């Protein structure tokens, strides 16, 4: 598994802005990706991942009236280890609140949105994959279209959720789509590790991109680092720049 830490010292030649394959990814429309009437289940390792991975897609699905089920596996409270400003206790309350505001900014119907919080331990999902799979199975139905983080993304929780979702979807008879997050910030030399044959591009208009960017900025805790103890912002400027691309990419 590739371990990735994104900082402003990362090489500028990253996959997201340098890989030549990006221009040749086939475009897929929502009707092909999600059949009419199908329920969509978005499974996020941490609060906020649902916006970073597919904030644009969520808006498009909502506009088409697809029923949505969001699952946040952890509360994201371990994002700032050793921090006094962003202690685990504070983050366990703050991060779900940030997600509520972010989803509101996307225009999702908060009064009717089905949202499950898993309560799993942040940064410890790799050790609980069997339990995680069983948990996910409980909330899936045959015919669901599932979106999760890619099982080879390079982050221990992202990878674990991707693997658990793959097993759960297969057991239930749901369709799985995986979304890379950290992988786009690998150096370009690693582009051959990306399954380009599975990649599809969901195009977003200007307003959809703007709402997604606005929603991303609801995560104040992730925009702030703590340089004194070596903690960089989780949502660094380079990630925020990528959030403004006029498309999202899924692995089908």
CATH numeric code, 15-75+89-251: 3.40.50.10320
Q: What is the DSSP letter of 154?
A: S
Q: What is the pTM of this model?
A: 0.91
Helix (H) and strand (E) counts in the chain: 9, 7
Instruction: Please answer whether residues 49 and 162 qualify as being in contact, where contact means their C-beta atoms are separated by less than 8 angstroms.
Output: no
Please tell me what DSSP assigns to residue 184: G
- Listed by start position, the domains of the chain span 15-75+89-251
pLDDT at 1: 43
Q: Give the pLDDT confidence score for residue 82 in this predicted structure.
A: 74
Residue, of 214 and 82, whose pLDDT is higher: 214
pLDDT digits (tens, 9 = 90+) for 190-213: 999 999 999 999 999 999 999 999
* 119-138 mean pLDDT: 88
Q: How many CB atoms lie within 10 A of CB 35?
A: 12
CA 88/CA 94 separation, integer angstroms: 10
Q: How far apart are CA 68 and CA 75, in angstroms?
A: 20
- With contact defined as beta carbons under 8 Å apart, do 75 and 91 qualify? yes
Q: Is the confidence at residue 62, as pLDDT, over 80? A: yes
User: Could you tell me which of 139, 19, 24 has the C-alpha nearest to residue 73?
Assistant: 139
From the list 126, 178, 121, 172, the residue with the least C-alpha distance to 148 is 178
Give the three-state DSSP class for 134: helix
Q: How far apart are CA 216 and CA 210, in angstroms?
A: 10
- Give CA angle at 36 (216, 51), nearest 5°: 10
Pull the structure tokens for residue 77.
Answer: 């409270």
């Amino acid at each position: 598994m590739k371990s990735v830490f994104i900082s402003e010292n990362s090489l500028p030649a990253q996959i997201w802005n340098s890989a030549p394959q990006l221009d040749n990814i086939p475009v897929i429309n929502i009707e092909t990706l999600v059949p009419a009437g199908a329920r969509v289940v978005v499974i996020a390792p941490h609060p906020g991942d649902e916006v970073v991975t597919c904030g644009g897609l969520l808006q498009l699905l909502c506009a088409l009236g697809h029923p949505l089920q969001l699952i946040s596996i952890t509360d994201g409270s371990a994002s700032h280890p050793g921090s006094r400003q962003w202690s685990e206790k504070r983050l366990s309350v703050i991060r779900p609140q940030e997600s509520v505001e972010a989803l509101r900014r996307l225009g999702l119907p908060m009064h009717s949105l089905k949202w499950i919080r898993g309560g799993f331990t942040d940064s410890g999902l790799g050790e609980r994959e069997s339990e995680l799979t069983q948990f996910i199975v409980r909330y899936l139905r045959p015919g669901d279209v599932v979106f999760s983080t890619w099982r080879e993304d390079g982050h221990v929780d992202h990878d674990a959720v991707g693997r658990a979702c793959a097993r759960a979807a297969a057991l239930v008879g749901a369709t799985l789509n995986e979304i890379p997050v950290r992988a786009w910030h690998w150096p370009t030399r690693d582009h051959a590790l990306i399954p380009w044959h599975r990649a599809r591009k969901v195009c977003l208009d200007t307003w959809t991109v703007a709402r997604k960017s606005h929603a991303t900025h609801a995560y104040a805790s992730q925009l702030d680092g703590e340089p004194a103890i070596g903690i960089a912002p989780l949502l660094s400027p380079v990630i925020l720049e990528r959030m403004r691309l006029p498309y999202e990419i899924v692995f089908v």
